[in-house]
Amino acid sequence: MEDKVKIEMEFVIHASPQLLYQYISTPSGLSEWFADNVNSRGELFTFIWDGSEEKAKLLSKKSGERVKFRWLNDEEDGASYFFEIRIQVDEITKDVSLIVTDFTDDDEVDEAKMLWDNQISDLKQVLGSA
């Protein structure tokens, strides 16, 4: 298995960190923009898109700040890859940004970035900050 490439992207979002956190950390919030449906049992989240399911384990979360998941198929492969969505507030301007960290195959970096662009665009529409 070849190593994946770490990608990090920043998206400016016009919403309060508290509101944003609800959308990145709860099944109901995530199903508004990230997947068609999201269920959770404890730290195990099931993401559903067009009838296919992907399961992820919630590795960590810090209220109002960040969530970090690992796809179960990565965990079964013994990989330490994860994806993290972090809320960052600029101390001076108070601008709110989402920092997305993800890992992807070397030849899929552009697709992964485009996917996150689309996902975050959906989130902005839901928040009314587009």
Q: Count of domains in the chain? A: 1
Mean pLDDT of 12-31: 96
Domain CATH for 30: 3.30.530.20
User: What is the pLDDT, as a whole number, of residue 2?
Assistant: 67
Place of tokens 């969505």: 85
Query: pTM higher than 0.85 for the full model?
Result: yes
Give the residue with greater pLDDT, 61 vs 51. Answer: 61
User: What is the pLDDT, as a whole number, of residue 74?
Assistant: 80
Position 48 pLDDT exceeds 90: yes
Mean pLDDT of 34-45: 96
102: left (phi over 0), alpha (psi -120 to 50) or beta: beta
Write out the residue range of the structural domain in which residue 85 sits. Answer: 5-127
* Interatomic CA distance for residues 75 and 71, integer angstroms: 6
User: What is the pLDDT, as a whole number, of residue 79?
Assistant: 83
